[in-house]
């Protein structure tokens, strides 16, 4: 089997896909922008061949790279990045070279917020009504229909990028100036008091869910980045049955195969949920590592098994919570790295500096810490985020 990994070097924790695929007997072929020497010996040893391009954004250059690898190694069985930024590139390459997986015409439902809403409704899952806006006239009509506050985000966009919360006329005018009708936006009512949570998992080659999990944020991502707040998100020990039922209905409606999925919801104060977005890939950052810690599993290995026609094997271990938590360089915290290690010992599974691309949103220093109870989760968050008291001197 020949498997092309797009951008095998970045993000660094995704390099494990190359390692596990190679261990499963796959010829892993990489296409990326980094010099070969930068890859490091471990990744170099996992790649059968690496083709460096000047710019992954240049589709014609990347097509030439795939054609070369096809000529040298034979038919390509998979092309994948597991990264939302390259989803459209992956799909175009699959179509060009007749490779298994999503093609461009299948991406519309997972790239456009307005199209997602249609499938959420088809799955009989609650949503908040939204409006597509292309002009300023449509913007004001949508605001009149929906009423402030609303969330404005690109209809085709990644994460919280270029997202605005419009609570006042001043906010609307500011958005209008920033937007300039340069792209299609999607507006929907702001959900007051909603807790951002997810239903995530992995699908086999027939589209069956073979792994599922869920995590909850301490604050919504928009507030997180705008206020430069402290981040904590928690892989849950168990999934709320109502959330699970909604998630499974959505997965069926989207009809994807051999892929990770990441579905975002708001949990309402009444205990119900509204669906927000379907992401046709893993959650970002170190979330896959947190899945592994919470479920005592190696999802990189399980994915490689599915791709090569094998089965998914559950670890059989009892799940734990896993808290992903960060500290920001801009703030002074009461407890430093050594204190965190001393406090949580073997429960601290992982710590790493956040890549600059994620630091503004999530923070600078990341920790993944397991817990057995909600009380332990609360203690972890309180301890890591506790800041030093500012002493005011009165003269």
Contact 256, 263 (CB under 8 A): no
Q: Looking at residue 158, what is its pLDDT?
A: 67
Mean pLDDT of 29-44: 98
Q: Looking at residue 218, what is its pLDDT?
A: 87
CA distance 225 to 236: 23
**Strands (DSSP E) along 140-290, which ranges?**
150-154, 164-166, 185-189, 195-203, 209-213, 215-217, 232-235, 260-267, 273-279
Q: Looking at residue 229, what is its pLDDT?
A: 83
Q: Looking at residue 392, what is its pLDDT?
A: 43
* Range from 86-100, 244-258, 376-390 carrying the lowest mean pLDDT: 376-390
Q: Looking at residue 39, what is its pLDDT?
A: 98
Please, what sign has the CA dihedral across residues 282, 288, 290, 292?
A: positive
pLDDT band at 225 (very low <50, low <70, confident <90, very high): low
Q: Looking at residue 312, what is its pLDDT?
A: 94
Give the mean pLDDT of the chain: 93
Mean pLDDT of 246-271: 96
| Class (C level, CATH) for 2-109 | alpha beta
Q: CATH 3.30.470.20 residue ranges in the chain?
A: 195-385
Cβ neighbours around 1 below 10 Å, total? 16
Mean pLDDT of 141-145: 94
Which CATH architecture fits 195-385? 2-Layer Sandwich (3.30)
Asked whether the predicted pLDDT for residue 6 surpasses 50, the reply is yes
312-337 pLDDT, tens digit per residue, is 998 889 999 999 999 999 999 999 99
Asked whether the predicted pLDDT for residue 205 surpasses 90, the reply is yes
Q: In sequence order, what are the residues at sequence separation of 6 or more whose Cβ sits closer than 8 angstroms to the Cβ of residue 390?
A: none
Taking domain 129-189, whether its CATH number is 3.40.50.720 is answered by no
Q: Looking at residue 133, what is its pLDDT?
A: 96
What DSSP string runs through 68-80?
Answer: HHHHHH----EEE
Compare 275 and 390 and report the one with higher pLDDT: 275
Q: Looking at residue 395, what is its pLDDT?
A: 44
Mean pLDDT of 143-170: 87
Q: Looking at residue 390, what is its pLDDT?
A: 55
What DSSP string runs through 238-280?
Answer: S--HHHHHHHHHHHHHHT--S-EEEEEEEE-TTS-EEEEEEES
Q: CATH 3.30.1490.20 residue ranges in the chain?
A: 129-189
- The rounded Cα 74 to chain-centroid distance in angstroms is 32
Asked whether the predicted pLDDT for residue 143 surpasses 80, the reply is yes
Mean pLDDT of 120-124: 97
339-370 pLDDT, tens digit per residue, is 999 999 999 999 999 888 788 878 999 999 99
- b/e map of 98-118 (b: 16 or more CB within 10 Å)? ebebbeeebbebbbbbebbbe
Q: CATH 3.40.50.20 residue ranges in the chain?
A: 2-109
Q: Looking at residue 160, what is its pLDDT?
A: 60
Asked whether the predicted pLDDT for residue 14 surpasses 70, the reply is yes
């Amino acid at each position: 089997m020949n498997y092309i990994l797009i951008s095998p070097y970045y993000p660094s924790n995704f390099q494990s896909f190359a390692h596990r695929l190679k261990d499963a007997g796959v010829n892993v072929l990489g296409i990326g922008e980094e010099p070969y020497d930068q890859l490091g010996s471990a990744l170099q040893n996992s790649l059968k061949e690496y083709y460096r391009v000047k710019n992954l954004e240049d589709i014609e250059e990347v097509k030439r790279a795939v054609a070369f690898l096809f000529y040298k190694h034979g038919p390509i069985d998979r092309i994948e990045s597991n990264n939302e930024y390259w989803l459209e590139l992956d799909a175009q390459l699959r179509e060009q070279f007749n490779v298994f997986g999503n093609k461009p015409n299948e991406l519309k439902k997972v790239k456009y917020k307005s199209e997602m809403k249609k499938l959420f409704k088809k799955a009989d899952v609650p949503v908040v009504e939204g409006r597509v806006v292309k002009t300023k006239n449509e913007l004001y009509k949508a605001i009149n229909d929906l009423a402030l506050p609303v969330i404005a985000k690109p209809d085709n966009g990644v994460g919280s990028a270029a997202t605005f919360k419009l609570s006042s006329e001043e906010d609307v005018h500011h958005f209008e100036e920033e937007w300039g009708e340069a792209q299609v936006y999607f507006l929907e009512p702001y959900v007051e008091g909603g807790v951002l949570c997810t239903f995530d998992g992995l699908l086999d080659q027939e589209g069956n869910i073979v792994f599922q999990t869920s995590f909850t944020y301490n604050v919504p991502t928009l507030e997180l980045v705008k206020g430069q707040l402290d981040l904590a998100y928690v892989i849950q020990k168990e999934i709320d049955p109502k959330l699970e039922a909604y998630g499974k209905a959505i997965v069926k409606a989207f009809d994807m195969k051999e892929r990770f999925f990441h579905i975002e919801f708001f949990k309402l104060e009444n205990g119900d949920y509204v669906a927000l977005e379907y992401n046709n890939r893993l959650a970002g950052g170190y979330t896959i590592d947190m899945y592994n810690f919470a479920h005592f599993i190696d999802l990189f290995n399980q994915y490689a098994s599915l791709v090569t026609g094998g089965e998914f094997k559950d670890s059989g271990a009892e799940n734990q919570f896993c808290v992903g938590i960060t500290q920001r360089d801009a703030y002074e915290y009461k407890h430093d790295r050594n204190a965190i290690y001393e406090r949580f010992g073997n429960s601290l599974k992982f710590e790493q500096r956040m890549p600059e691309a994620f630091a503004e949103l999530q923070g600078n220093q990341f920790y993944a810490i397991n817990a057995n109870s909600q009380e332990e989760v609360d203690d972890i968050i309180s301890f890591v985020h506790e800041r030093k008291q500012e002493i005011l001197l009165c003269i």
